[in-house]
Structures are given as C-alpha cells and as structure tokens.
Structure 1
Amino acid sequence: MTGKKAHKIAAELEKLFPVAKTELNFQNIFQLLVAVVLSAQSTDRQVNKVTEKLFLFVKEPRDLLDMGEEELSRQIRSLGLYRNKARNLIKIAEILDREYHGQVPDSFAELLKLPGVGPKTAEVIVGVGFNKPSFPVDTHVFRVARRLGLSKARTPEGVSFDLKKIFPPNSWIDLHHRLIFFGRRICKAQKPSCNICPFPEFCQKEESDV
C-alpha cells in the first residue's frame, strides 16, 4: 500500500460522499447504542422504523428497564433476532444503570463487556458517539477494503487493524462512513457498478471475493 494510493482513495471518497454519516437515527449515546445493537442483520431503514416509536419512550437505560423484556420484544419484533436483541438490551440497561450511573462508557474495553456488543458495535459507539478515533468494519467496509487492496485480512478485526495503519486517526470515522456509502451505492456485493467506480486500477474483486 503506497501513500499515493491511500491518498487517492480517501480524496475520491470525500468527493463522492462529502457529508457521509451514520444513517441510524438517535438523539443521545444510549439511543445510538440501542440502535446499533438492533442493526445486527437488519438494515438501517428497518431499525429507524422501529426506533421512531421506541425512542419516544426510551431515552435512558431506566426507560428500557421500566418497559421490560416482553414489551421491548413486541416493539422490535419486525427485526431479525428480536428476542436475543431484547434480552441483551435489557441486560445492557441493567449493567449501565447499576455500574455506570446510567451512562454509556466511552472505553472500547468496557463496551465489549456489555452483552451483545462486539468489536464493530464498540468501535461505532467510540467513534460516532464519543468522537474518538475508531474504524468500525461492517460487511460493506470489509468487502470494499479487500476489493481495493487495502487489506487481505479475513476478519473484520483484521481489516480494521490494517485500515488504522494506512490512514491517519483523524480520518478514520469519516472513511468508515464513506466506505459504507461506497459499498451500498457503487461497490455492491452483487452486481457492483464498476462502470462508475473511480478505482478500476485498484480493484481486486475476483481475488478478494474468494
């Protein structure tokens, strides 16, 4: 990976998506955590439909505890794995209420201790919620990074590690969002729009998709 290649990718993505940001709706960091947990195996659009109503009543951990697992399950039942998500969110709310005075911790290590919170979710909370350097890797970032030759890692954690070595920390979260937009709109998993891709010379699609 050359600095020139990395600079071109970052610059072109900024031209394509100058104002890329999360498409999940939330008003505070706890709501962001809830939305990200709900987004597993669901689209942002599906999650936003659910949280549009849910977040009228849920603004802090105590609100979820007052709602209870059964009612929460009913509210989110249109999403995949809704029972597991409801169970984990109630456990998260209990831990935050008991151990963190109702606040979401800004530590990656502390976030990983919460039920249902993996590395990607923790990275999102740290970066989007607390504006700290982080590079979350979802399915889109994973696919695009490998196709563009930014990483050959076979796990999201490995791809995140490689991307953090290539790009400066102050660019990580913006690049995360731009790679997602690029993956959703151009470098799609099926039938990518290669005719409008600005990176044909970098594409390693056949090799990276094996």
Structure 2
Amino acid sequence: MKPAARKELFARLAAANPHPTTELAYSTPFELLVAVVLSAQATDKGVNKATAQLFPVANTPEAILALGEDGLKEYVKTIGLFNSKARNIIALCRLLLEQHGGQVPENREALEALPGVGRKTANVVLNTAFGHPTIAVDTHIFRVANRTGLAPGKTVLEVEKKLEATVPKEYKKDAHHWLILHGRYICVARKPKCEVCPVSDLCDWYGASASVA
C-alpha cells in the first residue's frame, strides 16, 4: 500500500471511531495487565465476564496473592488455559511486589520479564495503560495488515515492525485499536464484510478479487 493510501485508510478509521480503546474492562494498569494475560486464546467478552466477578474482590497484586492460586482459579475457570494463566498471574503478582513496589512497570523489558507476559501483552499494556505508540499484533491485525496490503509480513514481528515504520505518526497511538476492531467486526477471517468496509477501495485483496470477478 502506498503512503497516501495508508494515510487515507487511517483517516477513515479515525473518522468512524475517533477515540478507540480496548474492549477489555479495566480501571487500573494492573487490572488491564491481568485481563490481557487472561485474554490469550480467549474472547474479551469471556474475560470481562470473569473479571467482573474477580476485580471487586481482588484487583491488586496483594489481594490476588491473598486469594492464592486455587482461589484465583475459581474466578477464571471459565477461561481457556485457566490453570497456567492463574499460575502466571500469581507469579507476576509476586514479582510486581518484590521488584516494582506493586506497580505495573512502564517499560517493555520489565513487562516482558513478568510471567505470562510476552511482547504482544507488553505492547497492549504500554499502549492502552500508558499511551505509548506501540502496536500489538494479534491474529486480527496480522490478517488485516496482510490482506489489505497495509503491512504484509510472514511473521507477527515482521508485521509489527512494518506497521511501526509506516503508520503515520498522528495515527500511531490508536492504530492498534482501529486495526483490531476492523479485523474483529469487518475484515473477518472467513467472509470479510467488504460491502460495508470503509476502506475497501484501498485494499489490495478487495481490488484483486473485484478484478477477478
């Protein structure tokens, strides 16, 4: 995709949704961190249902540690991979208290050192909790970036690096959310909703499929 088309794509997504944000429910950086760890291979809706029960009872590292691993599992057992996620959350709570005064660190290296936190989770937290212009590439963004021609790449990291290098500066902080929502609701995996897509005329895949038709 050419720079002018790329800028137009984000301008249209911004016009349609000027203040995008995550669909995970949270009120503090710590709640967001826990929610993102729980969201791996799970839906935001399912995570929100679990954290709506958990956070009123325990929404700090100290409170979750007080629950213990088995106690935490009772709240998150409806979420896929809940055993390993509960184990990681207990361990990361301990590290937050031991190394960061119970606060979520605002840098990638420290975040990625926490159990259950990889590059994607760190990017989400840095972007959503702290306003950094990071782009967390999940399956939705990977699909949209490749399908549209916005930032094609064979790996998640390659797509992330291309997006970081090419997304216009004024759109970089919110690009992550716009692309996730676009992939989640319009540029879906099996039958993309091109007929209602606000950027279909800029899309490589739509242009190619239209010319074939």
> Shorter-normalised TM-score: what interval?
over 0.9
Q: How does 1:25-174 map to 2 (within 5 A)?
A: 25-174=25-174
Q: Summarize the Cα distance change of 1:8–1:50 in structure 2 as closer, same or farther, 3 Å threshold.
A: same
Give the residue type in structure 2 aligned to 1:51.
T
CA distances 1:61-113 after superposition (whole Å, capped 9, x unpaired): 11111010001111100000000000000000010011111011101111111
CA contact (8 A) 1:34 1:89 kept: yes
Aligned mates of 1:173, 1:45 — CA distance in 2:
24
1:204 aligned residue: 205
Measure the CA separation in 2 of the matches of 1:39 and 1:206: 34
What per-residue deviation string (whole Å, max 9, x for no partner) do you get for residues 121-169 of structure 1?
0001111111112111111111101111122212222111100111134
Greater alpha carbon shift after TM alignment, 11-20 vs 59-68: 11-20
**Consecutive unaligned residues in structure 1, runs of 5 or more:** none
Where do 5+ consecutive residues of structure 2 fail to align? 209-213
Q: How does 1:13-24 map to 2 (within 5 A)?
A: 13-24=13-24
Tell me the secondary structure at the aligned position of residue 65 of structure 1.
Answer: helix
Cα gap change, 1:47 to 1:175, in 2 (>3 Å): same
SS in 2 for 1:204: helix
Could you tell me how far apart the structure 2 residues matched to 1:170 and 1:201 are?
19
Check the 8 A contact 1:148/1:202 in 2, yes or no. yes
What amino acid is aligned across from residue 202 of structure 1 in structure 2? C
> Residue 201 of structure 1: CA displacement?
4.3
Kindly report structure 1 stretches of 4+ aligned residues shifted beyond 6 Å: none
Counterpart contact for 1:17–1:181, Cα < 8 Å = no
Are the equivalent residues in 2 in contact too, given 1:119–1:157 (CA < 8 A)?
Answer: no
Aligned length: 207
| Separation in structure 2 between the aligned mates of residue 49 and residue 146 of structure 1, nearest angstrom | 32
| Percent identical | 41
Indicate if the aligned counterparts of 1:134 and 1:169 stay in contact, CA closer than 8 A. no
Structure in which a larger fraction of residues adopt helix: 2
* Paired residues of 1:133 and 1:170 also in contact (CA < 8 A): no
**Counterpart-to-counterpart distance in 2, 1:73 and 1:13:** 38
**Secondary structure of 2:77's aligned partner:** coil
Letter in structure 2 aligned against 1:9? L
Give the counterpart letter for 1:187 in structure 2: C
Q: 1:75 to 1:194 in 2, by over 3 A?
A: same
Tell me the TM-score normalised to structure 2 length: 0.92
> How far is 1:58 from its partner?
1.8
SS in 2 for 1:68: helix
